[in-house]
Amino acid sequence: DQQVKQNSPSLSVQEGRISILNCDYTNSMFDYFLWYKKYPAEGPTFLISISSIKDKNEDGRFTVFLNKSAKHLSLHIVPSQPGDSAVYFCAAAAGGTSYGKLTFGQGTILTVHP
Amino acid sequence: DTAVSQTPKYLVTQMGNDKSIKCEQNLGHDTMYWYKQDSKKFLKIMFSYNNKELIINETVPNRFSPKSPDKAHLNLHINSLELGDSAVYFCASSQQRGGPIQETQYFGPGTRLLVL
């Protein structure tokens, strides 16, 4: 019973183009969403987050969009750079009583070609 | 000056053995976590401690026992290791303030456990 799903195991993009990573969730109690990036042999590092009261959050080249009705979020990276090549995890949390419990998707491997 | 560190980085052991993984954070955070990344690459939370008190305990076999001697350390002890315990175990920490905002969790580099 995976409550957070990233249905694309991998994505390949040319340098300078847009990368779009997708994530779907099923639990309507989730109200906070995060994206983490992970390089091989390292732990995940926080990238960007969004609260359910917003539908968009932007930080430099990274933008996260949230569609609550569709229970879908996406991460846009523009322009993509080779250094962005990594595994991207979507994560969700259910309110302030969850004490930081994050539910992760299985990740999408992004490869940005020079 | 690593923020969240784990030892060992790699652990290869025989079925039935008991082993421990150590985690330390120097960020001054009050909450620490253990996650397991299985063969399907899902990261799943196992335990969470806030100020040395257990606050999240997911459905984990009781062969797994976390121990928090102080706020900066959260160790994971595993008894009677089984083949299915082979995975990457990540420690994380955050400063939980409550409310709807989830504070950023900082992860360690992971411990790769292989049970033969």
Dump pLDDT digits (tens) for A28-83.
Answer: 999 899 999 999 989 999 999 999 999 999 999 999 999 999 999 999 999 999 99
Residue A85 has pLDDT above 80, yes or no: yes
**A25 touches A71 (CB < 8 A):** yes
Instruction: List Cβ neighbours of A111 (8 Å cut-off, separation of 6 or more).
Output: A10, A11, A12, A13, A85
Q: What is the pLDDT of residue B101?
A: 56
Amino acid at B41: K
Residue A13 has pLDDT above 80, yes or no: yes
Residue A98 has pLDDT above 80, yes or no: no
Closest Cβ–Cβ partner in B41, B100, B110 for A43:
B110
Asked if B105 lies within 8 A of A107 by C-beta distance, the reply is no
**A34 contacts in chain B (CB < 8 Å):** 102, 104
Query: Which residue in A has a C-alpha nearest to residue B50's C-alpha?
Result: A99
The ranges of chain B with pLDDT < 50 are none
- 3-state SS class at A65: strand
Q: Does B48 touch chain A (CB under 8 A)?
A: yes
Asked if A42 lies within 8 A of B4 by C-beta distance, the reply is no
pLDDT above 70 covers what percent of chain A? 96
Q: What is the pLDDT of residue A94?
A: 85
Residue A111 has pLDDT above 70, yes or no: yes
pLDDT above 90 covers what percent of chain A? 85
Asked if B96 lies within 8 A of A89 by C-beta distance, the reply is no
Task: Over range A81-98, report the average pLDDT.
Answer: 87
**A2 touches A102 (CB < 8 A):** no
